[in-house]
Structure 1
Amino acid sequence: MLNLYYLASSGLQTGQQALIVTGNNLANATNPNYSRQNIILGATGGRMTSSGYFGNGVRVEGVVRAFDEYTNERVRGTDTLLRASEAHYAKMSALDLEFGRTYNGIDAKLNSLFNALKDISKQPTDGNYRSSAFTALKELTSRFNKLSDELIHQEQKNNQDIRESVNNINQLTGQLANLNREILNRQSVDGSGAFDLLDRRDALLQALSQQTGIATQIDGRTGAVDVTLSNGHMLVNGDQASALEVTTDDSNPGRQRVAYRNVDNIIIPLDDRTLDKGRLGGLLAFRNQDLPEIGNRLNELALYLSDRFNEVNSQGYDLNSDQGGDIFSYRLPRAIANRNNTGKAELSVAGINTDAEAGTVAKPQDYTLRFEGGQWRVTRTADGSEVA
Structure 2
Amino acid sequence: MSNLLATGSSALIAFQRALSTVSHNVANINTPGYSRQRVELEARDGTFYGYGYQGNGVQVVDVRRMADSLATSRLLDSGGELSRLQQLSVLSNRMDSLFSEKATGISAPWSSFFDAVSALSSNAAGSADRESLLAQANALATRFRQIDQHLDGLDNEVNAGLTASVGEVNRLAREIAQLNGQIGGNTNPSGDLLDRRDQLISELVGYTGGNAVIQDGGLVNVFSAGGQPLVVGATASKLVTVADPYRPERLQVALETNGQRVTLDKRALGGQIGGLIEFRTTVLDPAMAELGRVATSLAQTFNAGHNAGMDLYGQMGGDFFALSAPRVSSHAGNTGNAVLQTALGDAGALNGQNVLLRFDGANWVATHPDTGATIPMTGTGTAADPLVVNGVEVVLGSGTPATNDRFLLQPTAGAAGNISVAITDPGRIAAATPVKTTIDLANTGTGKPSGLKITDTANANLLAPVDIEFIDANQYTIDGNGPFAYTPGQTIAYNGWSLTLDGAPAAGDTFTVSPTGANSSDNGNATLLANLDDARVLNGGTLTLNGAIGGLTTQVGSAARQADYSAQAQQVIHDQAQAARDSISGVNLDEEAADLMRLQQAYQAAAQIIAAADTLFQSLLGATRR
**TM-score, normalized by length of structure 1?**
0.90
What is aligned with 1:22? Answer: 22
For the Cα contact (< 8 Å) 1:35–1:65, is it kept in 2?
yes
Q: In the alignment, does 2:245 pair up with 1:257? A: no
Letter in 2 for 1:270: L
Alignment of 1:261-340 (within 5 A): 261-262=256-257, 264-275=258-269, 277-340=270-333
For the Cα contact (< 8 Å) 2:42–2:60, is it kept in 1?
yes
Letter in 1 for 2:88: H
Q: In the alignment, does 2:205 pair up with 1:209? A: yes
What is aligned with 1:200? Answer: 196
- Give 1:370 shift: 1.1
Structure-2 change in CA distance of 1:26 and 1:164 (3 Å):
same
Identify which of 349, 358, 364 aligns with 2:352: 364
Alignment of 1:57-96 (within 5 A): 57-96=57-96
Mapped partners of 1:316, 1:139: distance in 2: 23
Letter in 1 for 2:360: E
What is aligned with 1:344? Answer: 337
Q: Deviations over 1:137-156 (max 9, x none)?
A: 11111111111111111111
Mapped partners of 1:217, 1:114: distance in 2: 62
- Give 1:280 shift: 0.1
What is aligned with 1:12? Answer: 12
Letter in 1 for 2:168: N
Mapped partners of 2:310, 2:29: distance in 1: 82
Letter in 2 for 1:381: P
Q: Deviations over 1:118-141 (max 9, x none)?
A: 222221111111111111111111
- Give 1:162 shift: 0.8
RMSD of aligned residue pairs (Cα, Å): 2.1
What is aligned with 2:613? Answer: none
What is aligned with 1:99? Answer: 99
What is aligned with 1:375? Answer: 363
Runs of 4+ in 1 over 6 A off after TM superposition: 48-52
Partner SS for 1:61: strand
Higher helix share: 1
Q: In the alignment, does 2:243 pair up with 1:248? A: yes
- Give 1:13 shift: 2.6
Considering Cα pairs closer than 8 Å and 6+ residues apart, tell me whether 1 or 2 has the greater RCO: 2
For the Cα contact (< 8 Å) 1:366–1:382, is it kept in 2?
no
Q: In the alignment, does 2:161 pair up with 1:165? A: no
- Give 1:49 shift: 7.2
Q: Deviations over 1:173-197 (max 9, x none)?
A: 1111222233348x3xxx6422222
Partner SS for 2:94: helix
What is aligned with 2:611? Answer: none
For the Cα contact (< 8 Å) 1:217–1:226, is it kept in 2?
yes
Partner SS for 1:335: strand
For the Cα contact (< 8 Å) 2:144–2:295, is it kept in 1?
yes
Q: Deviations over 1:172-229 (max 9, x none)?
A: 11111222233348x3xxx6422222121111111101101233222464x3322222
Mapped partners of 2:108, 2:175: distance in 1: 53
Structure-2 change in CA distance of 1:282 and 1:330 (3 Å):
same
What is aligned with 1:124? Answer: 124
For the Cα contact (< 8 Å) 2:77–2:211, is it kept in 1?
no
For the Cα contact (< 8 Å) 1:247–1:258, is it kept in 2?
yes
Q: Deviations over 1:289-319 (max 9, x none)?
A: 1111101110111111112211222222111
**TM-score, normalized by length of structure 2?**
0.57
Mapped partners of 1:109, 1:172: distance in 2: 48
- Give 1:104 shift: 5.0
Mapped partners of 2:215, 2:103: distance in 1: 60
Mapped partners of 2:334, 2:47: distance in 1: 87
Mapped partners of 2:32, 2:316: distance in 1: 75
Unmatched 5+ stretches in structure 2: 377-626
Letter in 2 for 1:345: A
Letter in 1 for 2:370: A
Q: In the alignment, does 2:225 pair up with 1:237? A: no
Structure-2 change in CA distance of 1:57 and 1:71 (3 Å):
same
Return 100-109 or 63-72, whichever deviates more.
100-109
Mapped partners of 1:246, 1:234: distance in 2: 17
Structure-2 change in CA distance of 1:103 and 1:30 (3 Å):
closer
Mapped partners of 1:91, 1:272: distance in 2: 16
For the Cα contact (< 8 Å) 1:37–1:65, is it kept in 2?
yes
Report the count of equivalent residues: 376
Mapped partners of 1:293, 1:163: distance in 2: 23
Return 230-239 or 19-28, whichever deviates more.
230-239
Unmatched 5+ stretches in structure 1: none
Return 114-123 or 240-249, whichever deviates more.
114-123
Partner SS for 2:211: strand
Mapped partners of 1:350, 1:304: distance in 2: 13
Mapped partners of 1:213, 1:157: distance in 2: 20
- Give 1:88 shift: 1.1
For the Cα contact (< 8 Å) 2:18–2:39, is it kept in 1?
yes
Mapped partners of 1:346, 1:117: distance in 2: 40
Partner SS for 1:365: coil
Letter in 2 for 1:368: L
